[in-house]
Structure 1
Amino acid sequence: MGWSIALHGGAGDIPVTLPPELIERREASVAGLRHCLDVGVTALTDGRSALDVVELVVRELENHPRFNAGRGSVLTSAGTVEMEACIMDGMTKNCGAVSGLKTVVNAISLARLVMEKTPHIYLGFDGAEAFAKEQGVETLEPSDFITPENIERLKLAKEADRVQLDYTAPEQKQVLQETHTANEDPDSKLGTVGCVAIDSEGNLAAATSTGGLVNKMVGRIGDTPIVGSGTYANSYCAVSATGRGEHIIRGTIAREVAALMEYKDLPLKEAAAYVIEKCAPRGTVGLVAVSAKGEITMPFNTTGMYRACATQDGYSEIGIL
């Protein structure tokens, strides 16, 4: 059995068509996905473990400003950044998670340090920041994560009096005004990032990272760092979810996929399709998953999801809609 990898850059109400001035931005995001996929493929080809690969790929996604994680994280209602992440090893079920980060450049790597360097699974806010300082991970001033684009996104969300799924790009304001009513939740694209992989030794791993929702309450924790909701891996599969966190938590989306495989003996694609259709409202969730057999699935019930995958036998795919 060979390796397989899948990653996502968020799901939501992604427009089918764009005006010419926005096509370049979409192409830049797709190029970012392609780059991150290439990084993962190279690492797997070089014999890196699935756990190393998912961390590496998510770090790359966190460093890309067009995705809602790391340097691209959206803002809370107070205009601050609160990042969160989770990583899980399928073989051992060891996992680590963090929330409420304001200064850590790569939340996913801090989550792995929580897993490997502490007796705990989950650290948040001041405690997580103190641990990051103790471990010497790369940090920046909180203001360095606050970009003009995300300030504008927060402004638009406040004007509309809504908490937005991922975010609405400011350059799409006119497009959204023309195509959505004031009561709708017009997420543009991009968002929570994640990666799942199985290596050539059969080890599974999952990792997810996000900046959360635009205009979220200070202190809000989403599905990403909650093991079994936004992130899960065991001996059957590895899953990373994206979308409306509250619905993903209620549906324990990632764990449900694994449970259907374990207890109902469903194949990966059938299990994931059932979860997407039955366990969360339409328009709220997407996921990427790989199985112990190297199978890949990337279903969603939103209008689109930024996603990519590859297998050792040469198959690859990058998609949006």
Structure 2
Amino acid sequence: MTINSALTAIVVHGGAGAGAEHSDGCQLAVEAAGRALAQGDGALAAAIAAVLVLEDDDRFNAGTGSALGLDGETVEMDAALMDTHGTLAAVAALRSVKNPILVARDVARTPHYLLVGEGAQRFARLMGHAPYDVIPETARRKHAALLAKMDAGQRPMAGVDNAEFSRYWNYDSVPTLAGSQGCDTVGAVVRDADGHFAVAGSTGGSAPSLLGRVGDTPLVGCGFYAGPAGAVAATGIGEYIIRTMLALRVYHWIEDGMDLHEALRKGIGLVPPDANTGLIAVSQTQSGWHANASTPTAER
């Protein structure tokens, strides 16, 4: 099937604060999505293809590269997807899988929208996802390098005292200060040649965080939204994104006729300037992104 590229759009982000030097990874993700569209797949399959590339690249905080928890060992991941055909699914606090976005895709087959924790992991095994507990050296280096920053009094989560994490410590190990792994959710938004939209996102969470913390990524309307007017994905500190229902609010502005880029800029203005945040979106006629932090992106 021949795709008229003038009708399609793909935008990918690698996370707020991930660094522009990782834009090559985003470009590879866009290319994977483009190949999916070229072979006749729809917007959702293309968005998933993009996110898979980023989950397998340990420079990004998703899948293999997911951030370590405060204990330096635990990894809990979230992922979600949505399209204009009615597909909506997510996982949260999922452990021991390679590609959370594929587990979210499988959740879409069930009667439920969101599976979490132990139930999500058991479901993953049932669906054939093998145990995967690889912690790459990149993740360990990030964790170790940033321990000193918190010890020096830097606050990785805007507006939150580092002592709060020790006060409410809920890991099995003894409390220690831990550095921030950032809030580098990865995501993709796609418009296919038939005018359908899809969004997919994945994250290893933010650090520091308490065990069981869930951010905006798997929460519909917060970290992601797709509808007849377009698709939106957010990245950043989930607690701020959730408070504003950021993705849904930006979607409604686009739906009401606001210029896409103005809607993205307005959305970024809803979060504190020191809370690194990024947004990507596609609409019927436009695509683009906006951020108040270094956020590697690529689009087609």
What amino acid maps onto 1:3 in structure 2? T
Q: Which residue of 1 aligns with 2:79?
A: 85
**Offset at 1:87?**
0.5
**Offset at 1:260?**
1.4
SS class of match (1:260): helix
**Offset at 1:30?**
2.6
| Root mean square deviation of aligned Cα | 2.5
Change beyond 3 A, Cα 1:146–1:82: farther
Number of equivalenced pairs: 273
Q: Contact 1:231/1:241 (CA < 8 Å) preserved in 2?
A: yes
What runs of 5+ residues in structure 2 fail to find an aligned partner?
1-5, 158-178
Check if 1:299 corresponds to 2:290: yes
Partners of 1:160 and 1:220 in 2: CA distance: 24
Partners of 2:12 and 2:18 in 1: CA distance: 19
What runs of 5+ residues in structure 1 fail to find an aligned partner?
15-25, 166-185, 311-321
Q: Which residue of 2 aligns with 1:267?
A: 259
What amino acid maps onto 2:287 in structure 1? I
Q: Which residue of 2 aligns with 1:222?
A: 215
Q: Contact 2:264/2:290 (CA < 8 Å) preserved in 1?
A: yes
Deviations, residues 32-88 of structure 1 (Å, cap 9, x unaligned): 222112111222222211000111110110000000111101111122101111101
Q: Please identify which structure carries the higher helix content.
A: 1
Partners of 2:209 and 2:251 in 1: CA distance: 29
Question: 4+ residue stretches of structure 1 with deviation over 6 A?
Answer: 186-190
Q: Which residue of 1 aligns with 2:26?
A: 33
Q: Percent identity?
A: 37
TM-score (norm 2): 0.83
TM-score (norm 1): 0.78
**Offset at 1:245?**
0.8
Kindly report which structure 2 residues correspond to 1:127-276, keeping only aligned pairs within 5 A, or say none: 127-141=119-133, 147-153=139-145, 155-156=147-148, 158-160=150-152, 164=156, 191-262=184-255, 264-276=256-268
Partners of 2:133 and 2:182 in 1: CA distance: 27
Partners of 2:18 and 2:138 in 1: CA distance: 24
**Offset at 1:231?**
1.1
Kindly report which structure 2 residues correspond to 1:302-317, keeping only aligned pairs within 5 A, or say none: 302=293, 304-310=294-300
Partners of 2:133 and 2:287 in 1: CA distance: 39
Partners of 1:35 and 1:143 in 2: CA distance: 22
What amino acid maps onto 2:17 in structure 1? G
**Offset at 1:190?**
7.9
**Offset at 1:139?**
2.8
What amino acid maps onto 1:299 in structure 2? H
Q: Contact 1:8/1:308 (CA < 8 Å) preserved in 2?
A: yes
What amino acid maps onto 1:307 in structure 2? T
Partners of 2:17 and 2:24 in 1: CA distance: 19
